[in-house]
Amino acid sequence: MLTRIDHIGIACRDLDATARFYSETYGFEVTHEEVNEEQGVREAMLRINGTDDGGASYLQLLEPVREDSPVARFLARNGEGVHHVAFGTADVAGAAATIGGRGVRVLDSAPRDGSMGSLITFLHPKDCGGVLTELVQAPAPEAGFRPGAEAVPSGEHENM
């Protein structure tokens, strides 16, 4: 049902400076940037690796674009750091229904738009051992809307 780690979401105050840290320190590069008004964030996706189901794993850097957003509230409370964990699935609505049936609160009544054409839904952190959890359905490969999601030949990254 859940087949991979899609991304780790990291709350930050300065997206460009944080992206620079990941690039200069680890060699991870931003493969995509967008503003998601509904979620109240400007975000950068740094692709870490491809996976054998055709998906990929990313770091997602999140900078709030308004004060009444979840990430702005998180920063005010906790400061910068890990904000959520996201698992990949081929069927986000089905996975949310199954997990909801196991007593975990699903925060969205229907999947919403996520990064790069994905569909996402969130699970309440209080029902997940304190971890805000996101489910992500990548767009079908033929939709061709996941920049950098194609396989990277081994050795291309200079990551440690």
With 0-12 CB in 10 A as exposed, 13-18 as middle and 19+ as buried, what is 90? middle
Residue number closest to ligand CMX, CB atom: 70
Q: Residue 80 and residue 74: Cα distance in Å, rounded?
A: 8
Mask of contacts with ligand CMX, 32-71, x by CB under 6 A?
Answer: ----x--x-x------------------x-x-------xx
CB 53 within 8 A of CB 146: no
Tell me the three state secondary structure of residue 79: coil
Least Å from the CB of residue 76 to Co ion: 19
Stretch that binds ligand CMX, among 17-25, 95-103, 120-128, 142-150 (CB under 6 A): 120-128
Interaction of residue 84 with ligand CMX, rule CB under 6 A: yes
Q: Of these partners, Co ion, ligand CMX, none, which one is at the site of residue 73 (CB under 5 to 8 Å by kind)?
A: ligand CMX
> Rounded to whole angstroms, what are the CA distances from 62 to 107, 126, 151?
19, 21, 25
Q: Residue 145 and residue 62: Cα distance in Å, rounded?
A: 20
Interaction of residue 88 with ligand CMX, rule CB under 6 A: no
CB 28 within 8 A of CB 148: no
Contact with ligand CMX (CB under 6 A): which of 50, 117, 125, 139?
Answer: 125
Residues that bind ligand CMX (CB under 6 A): 9, 36, 39, 41, 60, 62, 70-71, 73-74, 77, 83-84, 107, 114, 120, 122, 125, 130, 132, 134
